[in-house]
Every structure is written in C-alpha cells, then in structure tokens.
C-alpha cells in the first residue's frame, strides 16, 4: 500500500475546524500532518498525533508535507497559495480561490511554474441535491431547461463581529455563498454570456454585502442565483423548469449540519438528505402529475479523494484551473454589474 499523503491545514476557524480537518482525517489515503493556528492549547486538546505550527512557513519548510490546505480569511488565500507552491507543495484553497481575477491568475501561474496542483474547495458539487439534479439533466427528465433557480437563504438578522460580515476584500455574502452557486451553474450549464447582479446590505448596522440576486444569461435559458440573510421562510433550494417537467427541492444538504454536530464523515447516514425533491409535469389535459425523486447520497470526501488521486497522477482535481478562474471572473463581473447597474458580458 502507498503511504498516506501528508496534508497541512492553515487556519482553524469555521472552515478549518468544521470542514477540512474532519474530511482530511476520514478520506482514505490522506493524513492530517500539521495545523497552523494560534489556538495552540485548543489544538493540543483536540489532536494527539498532529503537529501544531505557529507559522505557515514552518509547514512550507517541512519536507514531510505533501500539500497545503488554506482555510484562512479570503485576502490571505492567494499570498499563502503562491508561497506554498514556491515551496513545492500542492495546494487546495477554500473558496473563494482568491479575491481578484488577477490574484487567481498569479496563483495558477505559480502552480504551472512549480509543476504542482492548485485547486479550490467547491464541496457543494457533492451536495446530495446537486448530484441528483445533475442526474436528472443527464437523463433528460426535465427536457430543455428554461429556468434554473438556486437559493441559499438564511435568517441571521444580527450582524456578527467576524471578518466575513464586514466590508473588506473578499468579504460579504457574494464572496461567501456566491462561489458555491456560481460554480454549480458553471458545472450544469457552462459559462454564461452575461450576468446581471444586484448586491445589497440589508441588515441594520451591516457593512458587508448580505444579499445578492444574480441572473446568468444563456442563449435560451436563465440561471438565477440568490442568497439573503433575512429570509425566515426560505424559497426552494432548487427550482428547475424545463420543457418536460419541473423539479422542486426544499432544504439544504445535511453534511454541513452533520459536521457541525461532530458526525464523522462516512458514518451511518452520512450525506443522506431526507428532503427529497418533487417532479411535476402536466398531462394533455393540463393536470399536474407529481412524483418524488429520491436524492443521491452526497459525500464531500469525494473532493479530497480527487485531490489525492491528482497528486498521485491518477486523476484530476474536482475543480480544474480553468473552472477556478471562471468563478473568479463571474464574481468580478457580478461586482461590476451591481456597481454599474447594468448587464455585463462575461462569455
């Protein structure tokens, strides 16, 4: 058997603690070698076989580390990724890949120069409902798509004291949830021709974007991505309408909630979303026929498994360099659209 690939995690906030550390530890072929964080005492109580480092340079200089996972505030993503690549490490960056398109291009150029992999953590590709929607489209169940609505709504009326909710580089909901929804639409439909985006600050005392509504323009259909922070009664997670049928899905994938509760990835019931979608179509007399569509199982570990295979020259990472760059271009185009109050061409 091959030795496990050794991964170092930089950052132990929400993303590092809830998502990356447990996923690395429960993906076959990978081992969590090091964690870079100022929370030394907490980490020593949490881990017995992981190196606790004070600085990123310590893992860059460690020849035992094969790859670095970056789960820091967004404005640090590109500088840390470039430094890790220069040290000969493969890199997986939490979304967003960078703060600007220029930064993203610099990271990818550094990866090419180093002959190493640079990819981004788009775990929502392995949501149960998204995998189910992909299957429905591949089977032609919905026919030609006219509209695809994807919502990621929350009810969080109080602005919290954390960098994600402040007005800073790469902060706000557009850079937090926007990358997930935009990436999903790119996977389903490819790059749109244009984007028309509305970004807003709706909460009292807020300074960072906490609402967005963007329409992606394709030749014949539209994809609408939406997120709000004051939505106590959320819309369907997905509402997809085609020439043959519509598919409506309520509720979020369960894996984030499972991780927050401390459920080990791969445990019984892992990734099984009980919020099944509904298929609707009309018969010749315009009577609506309804049926339930069971969700395929989700599993965020698949992204890490793909990363491991790519590092061993046995496959490709889940998110290609081109796809990582496309999401960054859409994020920037959406910012331009909202600021200029007009539709912006992107493809």
Q: Are strands 194-200 and 211-217 parallel, antiparallel or unpaired?
A: antiparallel
In this structure, the number of other CB atoms found within 10 A of the CB of residue 138 comes to: 8
Measured CA to CA, the distance from residue 77 to residue 333 in angstroms comes to 20
Q: What is the reported pLDDT for 166?
A: 79
Of the listed ranges 109-123, 182-196, 215-229, 280-294, the least confidently predicted one is: 280-294
pTM of the model: 0.95
Q: Are strands 145-151 and 288-293 parallel, antiparallel or unpaired?
A: unpaired
Of the listed ranges 24-28, 47-51, 209-213, the least confidently predicted one is: 47-51
E-strand ranges in the chain read 5-10, 30-36, 51-53, 67-70, 90-94, 118-121, 145-151, 194-200, 211-217, 222-228, 238-242, 246-249, 277-282, 288-293, 344-345
What pLDDT band is residue 3 in, cutting at 50, 70 and 90?
confident
Query: What mean pLDDT comes out for the span 272-298?
Result: 90
Q: What is the reported pLDDT for 149?
A: 98
Kindly report the average pLDDT of the chain as a whole number.
Answer: 95
Domains defined along the chain, listed by start: 5-121 (3.40.50.720), 126-301+330-345 (3.30.360.10)
Q: What is the reported pLDDT for 1?
A: 59
In this structure, the number of other CB atoms found within 10 A of the CB of residue 26 comes to: 17
């Amino acid at each position: 058997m091959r030795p496990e690939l050794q991964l170092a995690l930089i950052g132990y906030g929400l993303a590092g603690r809830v998502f990356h550390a447990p996923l690395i530890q429960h993906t076959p072929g990978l081992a969590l070698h090091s964690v870079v964080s100022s929370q030394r005492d907490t980490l020593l109580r949490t881990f017995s076989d992981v190196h606790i480092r004070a600085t990123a340079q310590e893992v860059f200089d460690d020849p035992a580390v094969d790859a670095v996972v970056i789960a820091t505030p967004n404005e640090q993503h590109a500088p840390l990724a470039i430094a890790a690549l220069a040290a000969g490490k493969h890199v997986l960056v939490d979304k967003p890949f960078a703060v600007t398109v220029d930064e993203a291009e610099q990271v990818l150029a550094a990866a090419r120069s180093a002959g190493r992999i640079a990819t981004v953590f788009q775990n929502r590709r392995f949501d149960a409902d998204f995998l189910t929607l992909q299957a429905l489209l591949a089977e032609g169940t919905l026919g030609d798509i006219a509209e695809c609505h994807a919502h990621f709504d929350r009810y969080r009326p109080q602005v919290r004291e954390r960098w994600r909710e402040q007005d800073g580089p790469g902060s706000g909901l557009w850079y937090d949830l926007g990358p997930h929804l935009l990436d999903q639409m790119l996977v389903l439909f490819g790059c749109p021709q244009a984007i028309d985006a509305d970004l807003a600050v709706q909460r009292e005392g807020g300074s960072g974007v906490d609402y967005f509504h963007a329409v992606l323009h394709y030749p014949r259909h539209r994809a609408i991505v939406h997120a709000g922070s004051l939505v106590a009664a959320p819309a369907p997670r997905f509402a997809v309408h085609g020439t043959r049928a519509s598919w409506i899905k309520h509720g979020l994938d369960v894996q984030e909630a499972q991780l927050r509760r401390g459920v080990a990835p791969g445990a019984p019931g892992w990734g099984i979303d009980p919020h099944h979608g509904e298929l609707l179509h009309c018969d010749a007399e315009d009577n609506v026929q309804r049926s339930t569509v069971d969700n395929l199982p989700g599993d965020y570990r698949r992204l890490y498994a793909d990363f491991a295979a790519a590092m061993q020259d046995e496959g490709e990472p889940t998110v290609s360099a081109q796809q990582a760059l496309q999401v960054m271009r859409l994020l920037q185009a959406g910012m331009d659209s909202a600021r200029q109050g007009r539709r912006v061409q992107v493809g």
